[in-house]
Amino acid sequence: MGVDPGLVATGFGVLEAGAGAVTVRDAGVISTATGEPLEARLNALHRAVHRIIELQGPGLLVVEDLYTEYKFPRTAILMGHARGVIYLAARQLGVTVVALAPSEVKRAMTGNGAAGKAQVQRAVQTVLGLKDLPRPSHVADALGLAATGMSRVMGQFPTTVGGRTRGSFSSAAGAQKWPPHSPMSAVDRARLGVDPGRSAVDRARPAVDPVRSAANPGRRA
């Protein structure tokens, strides 16, 4: 499971390696309300990440590491807060965490450690065999983290050659809001056919339609 941390928006993506295929099981964005107190937003982020880990059961959590330099120190501090609660959720559920530098993931996905966001999105789409371009960039970054982390564990990078990776992705996934204090709008519910009576976690599940392998579930990252 890859996580692109942020206080306003945290991208996540879950990959599963099965017999002859790597599947995108889940992906989306966790958003917090900017008008809420910091402690409330961190609590919401922690709860959401904790719930996703519980639901997906990843064997590894891959988090984007902090940059070596920040022009705005406050941004680095807030990012540190967000990463802290993500690490905490993983620890509480016994999941190992690995931090990867953005340049390492970009190099693994595109061959260029200084690649732009659009280039990373296209590379993730190609490598994972996605029907649509993964949007927003937080989702593409999270899937790139998951793919790079999976390559470390398995010693093999996902490839579309011979149908080894399969997946589909709805660009609407990035528009979903998580957790309860940042609900989906009535328009979003109508578009996605979501029942407003369902739980906050269920309401927020992104519109990703994974193509599952016929084999038994395999390793997840």
Q: Count how many domains the chain has.
A: 1
**How far from each other are the two terminal CA atoms of the chain, in whole angstroms?**
4
Question: What gap in Å lies between CA 6 and CA 64, rounded to an integer?
Answer: 10
Looking at residue 54, its pLDDT comes to 94
CATH number of the domain within which 174 lies: 3.30.420.10
Looking at residue 3, its pLDDT comes to 97
pLDDT tens profile 100-128: 999 999 998 998 888 989 999 999 998 88
Domain that holds residue 84: 2-220
Mean pLDDT of 17-45: 90
What would the 3-class secondary structure string for the chain be?
CEEECCCCEEEEEEEEEECCEEEEEEEEEEECCCCCCHHHHHHHHHHHHHHHHHHHCCCEEEEECCCCCCCCHHHHHHHHHHHHHHHHHHHHCCCEEEEECHHHHHHHHHCCCCCCHHHHHHHHHHHCCCCCCCCCHHHHHHHHHHHHHHHHHHCCCCCCHHHCEECCCCHHHHHCCCCCCCCCCHHHHHHHCCCCCCCHHHHHCCCCCCCCCCCCCCEEC
Instruction: Give this prediction's pTM.
Output: 0.73
Question: What gap in Å lies between CA 220 and CA 120, rounded to an integer?
Answer: 21
Residues in the chain: 221
Mean pLDDT of 173-188: 35
Which residues are known to be catalytic?
A: 4, 64, 138
- Residue 159 φ/ψ, nearest 5 degrees: -145, 150
Token readout for 82 is: 């967000």
Where residue 195 falls among pLDDT bands split at 50, 70, 90? very low
